């Protein structure tokens, strides 16, 4: 009787597996985002905790439903990627956003952004950013209502014309979305990701370089533009997404530069106060093209 032989099959390059699973990578990202999330909840109050929970839970449920997994904790966590996408979405929406909108945005992110394109590793656009862009198109007013931390009144974000000092912006005690505000804690998380080898230096560095070069051209303040809005979370957590960024070093640098430049162009010239989200989505759309222009040289290729 012929016995079925299971052969190990993988695409070259055959890198030695060091035991990394999606779940491990995603756990690291969750750990890295934890300080900023907790600080955001402290700053903005209990309601923002509900936003985080609803967003993560919806993403997990949608994924479990789509993949027909059980609703046990194990089935809901899956490979961890819905939790990361849900958390990232919660971090980039206004902390006072009505919960049904949060859930809808999270569901769109998972379903349209990820599973329509074939699931994990196949998506073209960053799901969390797509969810936010979707919410922004449909509910522009709710998506532009910012509450300052430790206070109940609505004000403009620094990018929307509000006032803030560099220190406030660095520490995060300014109005803004949950995870966009505290540059310090996000950088600590990013340092952890970098230490664990989960993100490369090229994309964040060239993203920031794009802003540093182009801010003075538009007459903007470099430090302000680096600290304000979503640059830190965008450059270190969103643009570096392994799936939606180029694989080859030159492509990565061009990708980062493009993100930075587009961010500055949108901030200074367009009608919107914040451009990081659209800049990254825009460059996401160009990634397959960049990957075709700058391919990893295969062994033996001239």
Partner 1 sequence: MNPPDIGLFSLFFASIFTSNILLANFLGMCSFVAISKDMKSSNGLGLAVTVVLTITAAVNWIILHHVLIPLDLLYLRFIIFIIVIAAMVQILEMIIDRVSQKLYITLGIFLPLITVNCAILGVSLFVEIRDYGFTQTLVYGFGSGLGWWIAIMALSAIRKKTERTKTVPAGLQGSGLTMITIGLMAMAFIGFQGMLAVQ
User: Taking the mean position of all CA atoms in its chain, how far away is CA 195?
Assistant: 19
Binding mask 183-212 for partner 1 (x = CB under 8 A): ------------------------------
Determine the 3-state secondary structure of 155 from DSSP: strand
Binding test (CB under 8 A) with partner 1, winner from 98, 118, 197, 216 = 118
Say if residue 153 is exposed, middle or buried (CB neighbours under 10 Å; 0-12, 13-18, 19+).
Answer: exposed
Asked if residue 244 binds partner 1 (CB under 8 A), the reply is no
CA distance 89 to 47: 15
What's the chain's length in residues? 302
Nearest distance, CB of residue 182 and partner 1, angstroms: 24
CA distances from 298 to 122, 142, 202, 254 (A): 22, 49, 21, 21
Asked whether the CA dihedral 108, 186, 221, 174 is positive or negative, the reply is positive
Site residues for partner 1, 126-165, by CB under 8 A, read: 130, 133-134, 136-137
The phi, psi pair for 177, rounded to 5°, reads -80, 165
Binding of residue 104 to partner 1 (CB under 8 A): no
Asked whether position 285 contacts partner 1 by CB under 8 A, the answer is yes
Contact region for partner 1 (CB under 8 A) — 45-53, 90-98, 120-128, 202-210?
120-128
Question: What is the closest distance, in whole angstroms, from the C-beta atom of residue 232 to partner 1 in the complex?
Answer: 19
292 binding partner 1? (CB under 8 A): yes
DSSP code of 2? Answer: P
Q: C-beta of 214: minimal distance to partner 1 in Å?
A: 13
The footprint of partner 1 (CB under 8 A) covers 112-113, 115-119, 122, 124-125, 130, 133-134, 136-137, 262, 265-266, 269-272, 275, 277-279, 281-282, 284-286, 288-289, 291-292
């Amino acid at each position: 009787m012929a016995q079925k032989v299971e052969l190990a099959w993988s695409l070259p390059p055959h890198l030695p597996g060091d035991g990394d699973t999606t779940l491990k990578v995603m756990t690291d990202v969750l750990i890295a985002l934890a300080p900023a999330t907790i600080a955001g909840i402290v700053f903005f109050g209990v309601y923002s905790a509900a936003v985080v929970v609803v967003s993560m839970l919806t993403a997990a449920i949608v994924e479990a439903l789509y993949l027909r997994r059980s609703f046990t904790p194990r089935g809901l966590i899956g490979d961890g990627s819905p939790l990361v996408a849900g958390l990232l979405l919660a971090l980039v929406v206004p902390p006072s956003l009505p919960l049904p909108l949060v859930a809808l945005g999270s569901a769109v992110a998972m379903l349209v952004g990820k599973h329509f394109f074939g699931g994990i590793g196949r998506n073209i656009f960053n799901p969390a950013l797509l969810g936010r862009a979707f919410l922004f198109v449909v509910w522009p007013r709710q998506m532009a209502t910012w509450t300052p931390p430790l206070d109940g009144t609505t004000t403009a974000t620094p990018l929307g014309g509000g006032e803030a000092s560099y220190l406030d912006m660095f520490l995060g005690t300014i109005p803004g979305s949950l995870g966009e505000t505290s540059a310090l804690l996000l950088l600590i998380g990013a340092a952890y990701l970098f230490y664990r080898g989960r993100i490369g230096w090229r994309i964040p560095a060239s993203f920031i370089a794009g802003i540093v070069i182009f801010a003075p051209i538009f007459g903007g303040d470099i430090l302000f533009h680096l600290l304000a809005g979503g640059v830190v979370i965008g450059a270190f957590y969103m643009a570096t997404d392994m799936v939606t960024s180029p694989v080859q070093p030159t492509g990565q640098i061009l990708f980062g530069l493009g993100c930075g430049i587009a961010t500055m162009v949108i901030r200074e010239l367009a009608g919107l106060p914040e451009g990081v989200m659209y800049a990254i989505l825009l460059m996401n759309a160009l990634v397959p093209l960049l990957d075709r222009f700058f391919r990893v040289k295969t062994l033996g290729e001239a």
